[in-house]
Copies of this chain bind each other. A is one copy, B any other.
Amino acid sequence: MKFACAQSTLLKALNIVSKAVTSRTTIPILKGILIRVTEDGSVIMSASDLDISIEDKFETVEYEPGEVVVQAKLFGDIVRKLPTDIIYMEEKDGNFNIKCSSSEFNIVGSSADEFPSMNVDEYDEKLSFDRDILKDMIRKTVFAASSDESRGVITGVLFELKNGNFNMVALDGFRMAVAREAIKSEYDQNIIIPARTLLEVSKIINESGVEKNTIDVLLSDKRAVFIIGEIKVAVRLLSGDYIDYENILPKESQIRVTLNRTDLIDAVERASLLSRAGKNNLIRVNILDNILEITSESEEGKGREEVMISKDGKDLAIGFNSKYFEDPLKYIEDETVTLLFNTPISPCIIKPVEGNSFEYLVLPVRLLGN
């Protein structure tokens, strides 16, 4: 097996597929990258940690077909440090030879036989998403999924296709993020993708520089394969039924507050400096006429912040975990946000002023006296 390509081409593919390489595995072959040169001169690189498998492809003109597995870290380090020139590579007697300019390396290769295959030819259904919408919806939800690996389906993000709507949902028992878009699709379908792997998919979409606006997703029973230009990312699906999230969303709200998003982020960040040490990162939010006051307290001192608001409804004092209250504000683009409340012990909704393309629900922390 041999091939030649520009250092930049090889490095780009390596950076993508390396995301599936884990250093924590006890299976040595999974620390490797499979390099396969096909009969027609495609170089296919792939890696897998069994939860996520990534494959990237580029063409070469000077080649002999074959395949080999090389240590991902060492090969990556070498390619990164080589000059921006043509790299000549050849597998010979189990060794992988790398030549570029005045450098030469011979690194140990392994047989490709044991490498997990990523057969993407069989699938039951094919969905198509707009690249930018998919990226945006992942960004707005994935952070809210549970990071506690024992929590089953809620460690994943729900993709719900229903009546021409595409909804993405993540929750962790304290808060929930819902992103919604209208799409053209005749399918009704629910799949749950582990948040950790979905985050990698999103990074790959960002870094791929893919020009195509559509990302296809091939679905089979236990797996989804994202087709991002020449890159294929296979992820294991979570099985089970997702939480009935629509029933969690309040049907109405008695208090509606509108305020500047940046002012609110700054105020919460400062107030939380004195809440960290305390329990639950507690901040107290007081809604008083046209002021939203945030107070916090720890053994180190007290903080107090004021933000101007416009309000419909009565005054309210309510407590939050500052992190859960602040997180969604970073994912709303609009400069003005709406907060919806009912009582000090019922959930708060945070959303843009217009539309329902993003809704975030956060449970309050009970305050003494409430």
What is the interface of chain A, defined by CB distance below 8 A to chain B? 71, 74, 77-78, 81-83, 95-96, 102-108, 266-267, 269-270, 273-274, 299-307
Contact = CB atoms under 8 A, between A and B. Distances in A.
Given A81-B273, A82-B270, A103-B304, 11 more contacts: A74-B273, A81-B266, A81-B270, A83-B266, A102-B267, A102-B305, A102-B306, A104-B305, A105-B270, A105-B274, A106-B301
15 contacts: A74-B273, A74-B274, A74-B301, A81-B266, A81-B270, A96-B301, A102-B305, A103-B270, A105-B270, A105-B303, A107-B274, A107-B300, A108-B299, A108-B300, A108-B301
Given A102-B306, A103-B267, A307-B102, A77 B273 contact: yes
A303 B239 CA distance: 47
Q: Which 9 A-B pairs have the closest CB atoms?
A: A107-B301, A102-B306, A104-B304, A106-B302, A81-B270, A105-B303, A77-B273, A106-B301, A108-B301
A108 B297 CA distance: 11
B81 A269 contact: yes
A73 to B, nearest CB: 9
Of A74, A78, A106, A301, chain B has the most CB atoms within 10 Å of the CB of A301
Given A108-B299, A269-B81, A299-B108, A305 B103 contact: yes
A303 B273 contact: no
A270 B104 CA distance: 10
A346 to B, nearest CB: 28
Contacts of A306: 102-103
Contacts of A105: 270, 274, 301-304
Contacts of A307: 102
A176 to B, nearest CB: 28
Contacts of A81: 266, 269-270, 273
A95 B305 CA distance: 18
B270 A74 contact: no
A60 B305 CA distance: 26
A109 to B, nearest CB: 9
Contacts of A304: 103-105
A95 B266 CA distance: 24
A95 B270 contact: no
Contacts of A305: 102-104
